[in-house]
Amino acid sequence: MFKLTAKALTCALSLLVAGMAQAADPITIKFSHVVAEHTPKGQGALLFKKLAEERLPGKVKVEVYPNSSLFGDGKEMEALLLGDVQLIAPSLAKFEHYTKQIQIFDLPFLFNDMAAVDRFQLSPEGQSLLKSMESKNITGLAYWHNGLKQLSANKPIREPKDARGQKFRVQASAVLEEQFKAVRANPRKMSFAEVYQGLQTGVVNGAENPYSNIYSQKMHEVQKYITETNHGLLDYMLITNTKFWEGLPEDVRTELDKIIVEVTAEVNKQADDLNQGDKQRILEAKTTEIIELTPEERSKWRDAMKPVWKKFEGEIGADLIKAADAANQQ
């Protein structure tokens, strides 16, 4: 009898200890991304880790995996849905399988500058896009800037006709494919991790990226020219798995939400400086000539690419395009 009671007591005690250990285990948040650390997104992920671990000690642990080291951009969304990663920030070009509306951000020459991008992202229409995939278990937490894209190639490209027949790497986006077809170039979808090699081996002749992605992936070493077109946007949506986020303890979620507001402000403030710094570093490397366009040359690109808007108006919605365009005028 005594023997049995002792056994039961040991069992109950070990269950209790296990339960306590479990309660004390920090929640692990894996944040996977495809770019280098010295980029707007790379820095944002590290700042999120720092603040989350400082302010929620013992409650949250953040693991950051840069440079496609955990998941490449073909797999990260699936991994988020499967719960293998809890935070990712894909570029806005990578959402077309989840919602067609987010394609709006890929329309060429949509925003005059980053201030217009900010106004649209903060507008009710921009904010509603963050919530547009919740039925698919994806919650948008914030928009993070990288910046405007430049065209790189191995021949000088000044006017749309110079791009004819050139093979350009594009992200997985139908809008971006159409954008290059509009100037009679050949778009080729390729994941980010493959771009350097694609350029090096000539599988593609050129690409479109902000300066920070060009420099941090060393693309300037395999591209002789960059044309400063500022023709389109490369920004991100920081997203999480809706069920995971809603299942977090209330105090943890509230603190993480606050941290994200802070990190977002910092990323968006620093992104342009980072891009301009990397433009200087590319110039100093003397590998690549940067071609600046005259206003007349730039309008030729706009005229050639803008018909793409009409092609996607049905999927994106004319009202949404109007709201984004209006952000230029405010």
Positions in the binding site for ligand LMR (CB under 6 A): 34-35, 41, 73, 91, 146, 171, 192, 209, 213, 234
User: Which residue lies nearer to ligand LMR by CB, 168 or 192?
Assistant: 192
- State the maximum Cα–Cα separation within the chain, in Å, rounded to a whole number: 96
Q: Least Å distance between CB 35 and ligand LMR?
A: 5
Q: Measured from the CB atom, is 41 or 220 closer to ligand LMR?
A: 41
CB 87 within 8 A of CB 31: yes
Classified as helix, coil or strand, 253 is helix
Q: How far is the CB of 289 from ligand LMR (least distance, A)?
A: 22
**Environment class of residue 102 by beta-carbon count within 10 Å: exposed (0-12), middle (13-18) or buried (19+)?**
buried
Between 200 and 328, CB nearer to ligand LMR: 200
- Smallest gap, in angstroms, from Cβ of residue 217 to ligand LMR? 9
Residue 111 or residue 192: which is nearer to ligand LMR going by CB? 192
Between 213 and 242, name the residue whose CB sits nearer to ligand LMR: 213
Structure tokens at 104: 């709006």
For residue 276, the tally of other CB atoms under 10 A from its CB is 13
- With CB atoms as reference, the residue minimizing the distance to ligand LMR is 91
- As a whole number of Å, the CA-based R_g of the chain is 23
Shortest reach from residue 25's CB to ligand LMR, in Å:
31
Q: How far is CA 102 from CA 97, 124, 125, in A?
A: 10, 14, 11
Q: Closest approach of Cβ 192 to ligand LMR, in Å? A: 4
